[in-house]
């Protein structure tokens, strides 16, 4: 299996979605392709509010992360600037993938699967090998694989309060793994 989606080919922070944007140029994506400035906006314009929300929530999450553990917010003065100038671009270390996670216990990559249903589908189909511990109906974690399942990247499902919770979980995950 290979990673397929948007972002930096040397990503350390990966978010997984079940679907690609409904644009012809992205339907046959077979690798991780860096986006360029303006491309996130173009996808939002062509594919609607749902995709704008995905990109906005992704940028808001990166911007909410503890700067002692993650450096994403240090690259831009606001989450909006980060989204427009860095998110999923070459050198950003971020990815939005439409393929199942390829977890490597030795790697330092953080993996976030958007949506309980997608995570359970990946598990039941054998496309994901993970030992998820469900914390509640929305969040699960596999510390060994540096993997978290969270609500879908949408304002209603992953509200600002839940973004803060996920941010804390990510810092705990990084610090727990780093102290082993």
- Give the pLDDT confidence score for residue 178 in this predicted structure: 52
d(CA 66, CA 68): 5
Boundaries of every domain in the chain? 5-178
**Averaged over 155-169, what is the pLDDT?**
94
pLDDT, one tens digit per residue, over 44-75 is 999 988 999 999 999 999 999 999 999 999 99
Place of tokens 């694989």: 145
The DSSP string of 16-73 is E-S---S-GGGTT--SEE-B-TTHHHHHHHHH-HHHHHHHHHHHHHHHHS-TTT--GG
Structure tokens of 107?
């790697």
8 A C-beta contact, residue 63 and residue 72: yes
Provide mean pLDDT across the span 124-143.
Answer: 94
Picking from 179, 98, 105, 170, the residue whose alpha carbon sits closest to that of residue 139 is 170
85-117 residue pLDDT tens:
999 999 999 999 999 998 877 778 999 999 999
Q: What is the pLDDT of residues 13-43, one digit of tens each?
A: 999 999 999 898 888 899 999 999 999 999 9
């Amino acid at each position: 299996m290979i990673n397929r989606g948007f972002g930096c080919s040397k990503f350390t922070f990966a978010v997984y979605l079940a679907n690609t944007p409904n644009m012809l140029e992205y339907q046959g994506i077979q690798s991780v392709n860096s986006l360029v400035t303006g491309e996130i906006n173009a996808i939002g314009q062509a594919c609607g509010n749902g995709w704008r929300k995905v990109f906005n929530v992704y940028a808001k999450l990166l911007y909410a992360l503890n700067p002692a553990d993650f450096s994403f917010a240090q690259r831009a003065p606001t989450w909006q600037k980060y989204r427009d100038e860095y998110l999923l671009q070459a050198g950003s270390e971020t990815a939005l993938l439409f393929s199942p996670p390829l977890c490597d216990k030795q790697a330092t990559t953080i993996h976030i699967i958007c949506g309980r249903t997608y995570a359970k589908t990946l598990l039941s189909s054998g496309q994901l090998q993970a030992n998820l511990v469900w914390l509640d109906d929305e969040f699960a974690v596999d510390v060994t694989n540096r993997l978290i399942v969270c609500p879908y990247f949408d304002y209603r499902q992953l509200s600002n309060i839940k973004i803060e919770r996920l941010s804390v979980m990510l810092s705990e995950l990084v610090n727990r793994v780093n102290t082993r």
